[in-house]
Amino acid sequence: MKSNHTIGPVELLILQGSPFCNINCKYCYLPDRMNKRRMARETVEKTIDQLIADQLFGTDVSIVWHAGEPLAVPLAYYQELIPLIRERVPAAVRVRHHLQTNAMLINDEWCAFIKENQIQVGISVDGPQFLNDINRLTRSGKSTFGKVMQGIAYLNEHDINYHAIAVITRRPCIIRTRSILFSKIWVLLNWA
C-alpha cells in the first residue's frame, strides 16, 4: 500500500564519526562514550548513495558531525570523508559541513582544515567557567573550561566564526545570572 505522506528533501544529516568522547559530562545521554570505533567509510558511502537513489536531496543539505567528540577522530578521517561526500552528492546540491565540538582538541591543523573546507563550527560550552564546570568535566573530574577557551582562541586566531550551544540545567538556573559575555559568545540567561 502506498503512503500519502511524502518525505524529503533531507536538509539535515547527522553523522557520528565515533561515540568516543574525551570528556565526561554529567548530563550526557550517550551510553558508549569510551568506545573508539569509527563509522566506516562504507557506511557513509551507502548513506549518501541511498539518499541519492531515493531522490531525497534538495538544493541544500547540512551534514553535522556530532556525538561523542568529532575531533577525537583523527583529522585524516575527515580529510578522506568530506571530499568523498562532495564527489558523491550531485553538483546541484549545496553541501555544508558542521562540527559540534567541545573545542578542547582544536589546534592550527584543525583550523586550517576547517577554513579550507568552510566547515561551520559549534562549540559546546555551558557558559563561563563557574557554570561550565558544573557538568562539563574531564574524566578525572577536572575543569574543561581552560582547554575550551584555548580552542576558541585558535578559532579567533584563524578568523573562523563559530556559535555556541549550552545545556541549561536546574542547578545553574539557581544562579541569578542575567547576561554573560565572553570572547565572541553571547549567552543570554534571563531567569526571573
DSSP secondary structure letters along 60-111: EEEEEE-SS-GGGS-HHHHHHHHHHHHHHS-TTSEEEEEEEE-STT--HHHH
Q: Are 131 and 172 in contact (CB under 8 A)?
A: yes
154 within a domain of the structure (yes/no): yes
Q: How many domains does the structure of the chain reveal?
A: 1
Q: Which domain holds residue 120?
A: 10-188
Number of other CB atoms surrounding residue 27 within 10 Å? 10
Tell me the residue ranges of DSSP E strands in the chain: 10-15, 57-65, 94-101, 120-124, 162-165, 179-182, 185-188
Residue-level pLDDT at 31: 83
Average pLDDT estimate for 164-177: 66
Residue-level pLDDT at 34: 83
Q: Which residue has the cell 558523491?
A: 88
**pTM of the entire predicted model:** 0.84
For residues 89 and 188, the model is more confident at 89
4 within a domain of the structure (yes/no): no
Tens of pLDDT, residues 81-128: 999 999 999 999 999 999 999 999 999 999 999 999 999 999 999 988
1 within a domain of the structure (yes/no): no
37 within a domain of the structure (yes/no): yes
d(CA 111, CA 113): 5
Tens of pLDDT, residues 140-162: 999 999 999 999 999 999 999 99
Tens of pLDDT, residues 5-28: 588 899 999 999 999 999 999 988
71 within a domain of the structure (yes/no): yes
- Assign residue 109 the CATH number of its domain: 3.20.20.70
150 within a domain of the structure (yes/no): yes
21 within a domain of the structure (yes/no): yes
